[in-house]
Amino acid sequence: MKNKILKATEVIQVIRLIGLTMALLFVCQTIFANDKPNVIIILADDLGIGDVSCYGSKMINTPNIDRLADEGLLFTRYHSAGSTCTPTRYSMLTGRYPYRSEQIKTGNLTGDLMIDINRFTLGELFKENGYATAAIGKWHLGYGDNGEPDWNGKLSPGPNELGFDYHWGVPRNGNDNVRAYVENDMLFGLDPNSTFEMANWDKKRVEGLLHEREDDMVNALLTERTLSFIRENKDNPFFVYFAPTIAHTHITPYSKFRGTSKAGQYGDFVQELDYYVGNIMNLLRELGIDENTIVVFTSDNGGQLRDTASAGLGLNLADQSQDVEIKARTAKTDAREMGHKTNLDLRKGKSSPYQGGFNVPCIIRWKGKIPEGNTSDRFICSADYLATFADFFDTNIPMGSGGDSYSWVDMLNGDKVKEQRSNAVLRSKKALSFIDGNWKLIDYSYGVKPQDLYELYNLKDDPSELEDLSMDNPEKLNVLRRKLAEILEKQS
């Protein structure tokens, strides 16, 4: 029987061989990881297509967003799936039309997490492909599963259960009465010696918080959290879903931006957003990861034409200079009266079933990969990110998920797609808008308060939706109504 005891020299050789193998494995893993591009999606809030200078704004200057367009691809027919905040955010993370969510469909928006934790999400897609993931900024998709969240306790399930490693956010809106930030699954800065109670718009301050949000500092802080996450993960692939609160009420620009635009305090606020986009781009360049990062800039819906009743109420400001509190009450109206067109010549805006609510900015930049300075009239929708990046990773979406998502991966890397999007179902509270090619149906029978009313427009000939053709073309109207019903009957 042979002696199976290894000599000391043989043991050393084996150790060296194992060490070399592990080193090679580490190098291969590092190369593979670094080969994956980072992805940052910047989702502005209530930003209209006319708020960005590369889309035609004359009174608001956005040089950093314009630079994204100069170095990337600008879409002219990008549509949010909702004309308000929550529906579009739902579509982006799930690849589903928001009407498929019973809560969104009925308008019964409780405090619950609106995405089933068993549903495959964009965050999970990136996480499964080796990415560090973060959801930073406005969330507005609920927390927990018992109605109104227990703000004094754990806010779960939430983003951490949907594939995001880290969450720092504004729980609802820039003007919500929570007046706090959420870090992962807890309110940030809870006072251990008192019980948290929300504020209200009748001047009642929030209680039980050590750190109430300062309205004019919110987006600076959200951006800093984003920059920190990028720095911490610069050596490995990362995905950031960054959702600033600009240009949603409250319109409270940081002091250095006040008086910088030709569109009053509203324009100042948008120019603040542009500055933060520049901060992100500059950091990518500083870290040497600029050319290995895909940046998407878009908005959740069109601009709001009028100020809400709560505008400027209950503010907590770090700096009250230049009458910022008074101007916050009428900032959107003031901008319009100065001649600013937040949605250009599109009809209406936020919350409406018309194009001003849906046709929003979208710019995609991947330096060295996407040709610079191009414009595309490709029809894409906010529900399309899941299919696009699943194709990018050559990953299958689980059955029963993302059924309304169409891939535009060919715009990123030239790969063929199975089918380009030709139609989309877009949700407002009053109606469903269905775009099919150049035609658009507005069907009020699907509104929160259904009514037997329909409108029909030819968007190619009439992009401002001035001439309702439903009476003149009943055949086309009925064709689109049937198509819409068939799409909604399918499971997704």
Cα distance between residue 270 and residue 110, in whole Å: 30
Find, among 364, 127, 134, 93, the residue nearest to 230 by Cα.
134
Mean pLDDT split into 10-residue runs, the chain, 492 residues = 39 41 37 73 98 98 98 98 97 98 88 95 98 98 92 97 98 95 97 95 88 96 98 98 98 98 98 98 98 98 95 95 98 98 98 98 96 96 98 95 97 94 97 98 96 97 98 98 96 78
Cα distance between residue 429 and residue 29, in whole Å: 48
Q: Residue 2 has what pLDDT?
A: 35
Cβ within 8 Å of residue 125, ≥6 positions away: 163, 386, 389, 390, 393, 395, 397
Q: Residue 8 has what pLDDT?
A: 40
Question: Given the structure tokens 């800093």, which residue do they identify?
Answer: 224
Q: Residue 147 has what pLDDT?
A: 85
Cα distance between residue 201 and residue 383, in whole Å: 34
Is 357 within 8 Å of 302 (Cβ atoms)?
yes
DSSP 123-175: HHHHHHTT-EEEEEEE--S--SSSSS--TTS---SSGGGGT-SEEEEESS-TT
Q: Residue 27 has what pLDDT?
A: 35
Q: Residue 317 has what pLDDT?
A: 97
